[in-house]
Amino acid sequence: MTPNALNRRSMLTGGTLISLGTLLTACAPHDNTTTPAGGAATASGAATTNSSSSTGNSAGSGYRKADERGPAQNVPKPNAPENGYRAKTPDGIRKTMDAWNQWINYGIQTGDYSKAREFLSSTNDGELKIYREIEALYRRGGWVIDGIQYFKPAGEPWTEDDQTYRLKTRHEWDKETDVEPDGRQETWSSDKEEEIYIFALEHRDGRWQILYSQIDV
């Protein structure tokens, strides 16, 4: 990867919007560093992070963050989504996004994205590719250090056709270090303290489904 490459989410989710003909483009630079076994991964960029929460909830008894020694331990599962998250209302969109956000943070720490997938449309290729990559890393004995993300609504959802709704969010995230079983590390980090994403959602089968996302530039 080159210094001008995109961070993983920008790179993998950006293609979805492009294939749909959107004019939005992903162009957030990042620093990506690979280190050999025993080395220390470094990243020149720094992202805003919230260290008080791991999955959207307070970490339970016995929880241990991932580090160079191994993956996170005893990661608490998020609570059930708030009542009304399925409602076809702006509040339903916000509650759906909050529940999904908690489950992706659970997935990054455990390699289990089964619940996070439930909030996605089957056509959300970019997001699903991220999940497959992380799941494959855990299956082969690796893990992820950091990588916690927060998508905070920035304004009200809107729609132009009463079918596809959009929500602008402020994206805050930790740098992410992928650790291979042999100790090799690859770190992804943004040089921006905050990124703005636009999510597109549709209300299908009695619930909200996330169609795609894209950095707003």
Residue 115: the pLDDT is 98
Which of 186, 164, 165, 162 lies closest to 175, judged by CA? Answer: 186
Q: Whose structure tokens read 């950095």?
A: 215
Q: Supply the mean pLDDT for the chain.
A: 79
Considering only 4-8, 14-18, 66-70, 154-158, which range has the smallest mean pLDDT?
A: 14-18
| Angstrom distance (rounded) from CA 210 to CA 115 | 13
Phi and psi angles of residue 41, each rounded to the nearest 5 degrees, phi first? -70, 140
pLDDT tens-place string over residues 48-78? 233 333 344 445 569 999 999 999 999 999 9
Angle at 57 between CA 185 and CA 198, to 5 degrees: 70
- What is the residue type of 205? D
Domains contained in the chain, CATH given: 8-52+84-215 (3.10.450)
pLDDT tens-place string over residues 32-50? 444 433 333 333 232 323 3
* Token couple for 120: 């996605």
In this structure, what DSSP letter does residue 135 have? H
* Token couple for 9: 């989410």
